[in-house]
Amino acid sequence: MPRFIILDGGTIRDSREEDNAQRLRKRKRLEDDSDNNRPSLRTAADGAETLINDQDYYFTDDPQAECYVRVEKILFKIHSHRLVMSKMLAARLRDRPVPSSSKEPLELFGVSVEEFRALLWARYASEEDAKDQPRTLEDLRRLLYLSTVTRNFEFGALHEWGMQSMHRAFTSDAVLADTCSSATFTRVIEIATQYKADDLLEAAVSKWVERIQRRDIPAVPAMLAGDAHRLPRLCGVSYYAHLLESIEHSPAPSLFRLQADPRLSDTQLIRLLSGHVSLVNYTEQYRRRPAKLHCADGCSAEAHRACTVVWGERWLATAGSRKMLVHNSADILGIVSTMCELLTADSELGWSLRYLTIAIIGPCDRIENRAARRTRYPRGVIQPNIEKQYIFVLVSSIGL
């Protein structure tokens, strides 16, 4: 019995068509990979395969470059002492004569051509070349290749240098981090997770989160990476951003259409929907229930009761103001920020309360009005850690 897929109100498609299309795309991708990612090989007259000399690391005119190395179908002619930093390669070179013939090169497995080129770049680089790496995106991609090959071939010191250089890119070079693609962020997180580089992982996640908040990079790749590596902070920010983007692109203010990105699984879509419901419920309760007003030192119980009454009235008035109604009910970050701004600038609170300590969602600074009836509260006094709080609310609500 055929199954059908309903894409929208006017489109019904047989699921077998979808399966066939996916198989055709996969077959084409495999064919493209096999054709485009391998160098064109020439065959000798006797049928033997002819290797291709590397353009950068085949030192034809250097007699001291006596070591021939084969990686995949590429032949390298290098100096053997460049490999002795590796315990593994040094052992292989001790067990046999230096491979000084292109017909019997040292063949390496488990390493790609790009990775081996990155290794040779690091071994031949001058101090000036290696200083302040990475400088460009190309340098960063090379370091990603280098991190893998140096770990696999036991270049311990070189591996540590590469990881530290990548960490510096995400902590000291804002321009470079702002040009990284989602694919680069994903690969950095994979490397940091695989090699337990917690500092690099934290730095990469922080930069990715920052760019998602600025909306200059898509949220879906971050959702996939966050779920794959169990990173709650990245999940919270990316799910939240994608949810708000879906609401903004809904056809009408009263309708909510979830953007079903084909890369997202059914489980992730359910998390988004459940997160939307939970945030809307939380926001409605937040608007109706004033945050707890703590009694400050020096304030009597009777005075505090009077303050609580004023506080509740101003909270409800602020929550129903026009500036608050512009936010959709799932935008907890926007709602909390606007509430902080409006309550801080509220003249009624400035004239009526002597001591005020507010907990919007979590811990908040104490507000003290030392000259009631003459001084308004300065802007920016109410500053809860909004990012951590809304991530906690979102992650808890979607059950990550």
pLDDT tens-digit readout, 6-35: 444 444 444 444 555 555 555 444 444 444
Single out the residue in 196, 229, 263 at which a domain terminates. 263
Residues 160 and 229 in one domain: yes
> Would 274 be classed as within a structural domain?
no
> Which range is most confident: 128-137, 270-279, 327-336?
128-137
> Would 49 be classed as within a structural domain?
no
Q: Which residue in the block uniquely carries the two structure tokens 């309760």?
A: 285
Question: Quick one: pLDDT at residue 350?
Answer: 59
Residues 314 and 241 in one domain: no
Residues 229 and 149 in one domain: yes
Using DSSP, state whether 378 is helix, strand or coil: coil
Residues 318 and 370 in one domain: yes
Q: Parallel, antiparallel, or unpaired: how do β-strands 11-14 and 4-8 relate?
A: antiparallel
Q: Parallel, antiparallel, or unpaired: how do β-strands 42-43 and 355-358 relate?
A: unpaired
Q: Which residue in the block uniquely carries the two structure tokens 């909306």?
A: 215
Q: Using N-to-C axis directions, what is the helix angle for 156-172 and 182-194, rounded to 10°?
A: 140
Lookup: tokens for 208: 């990715």
> Could you report the per-residue pLDDT of 37-85, keeping only the tens digit for each?
333 333 333 445 788 999 999 999 898 998 899 999 999 999 988 887 7
Range of the domain at 294: 286-398
Residues 296 and 230 in one domain: no
Residues 170 and 241 in one domain: yes
Single out the residue in 199, 232, 263 at which a domain terminates. 263
Residues 294 and 349 in one domain: yes
> Would 243 be classed as within a structural domain?
yes
> Would 212 be classed as within a structural domain?
yes
Per-residue exposure over 185-216, b if at least 16 CB sit within 10 Å of its own CB, e if not: bbbbbbbbbeeebeebbbbbbebbbbbbeeee
State the total domains in the chain: 2
Residues 307 and 218 in one domain: no
| Residue 225 confidence (pLDDT) above 90 | yes
Residues 239 and 291 in one domain: no
> Would 333 be classed as within a structural domain?
yes
> C-alpha 185: how far from its chain's center?
6
Residues 293 and 196 in one domain: no
Single out the residue in 263, 295, 330 at which a domain terminates. 263
Residues 185 and 233 in one domain: yes
Whole-prediction pTM: 0.71
| Residue 184 confidence (pLDDT) above 90 | yes
Choose between 242 and 90: higher pLDDT.
242
Residues 239 and 296 in one domain: no
> Would 331 be classed as within a structural domain?
yes
> Would 208 be classed as within a structural domain?
yes
Q: How far is CA 19 from CA 1, 6, 16, 160, 181, in A?
A: 15, 15, 5, 45, 30
> Would 132 be classed as within a structural domain?
no
Choose between 5 and 371: higher pLDDT.
5
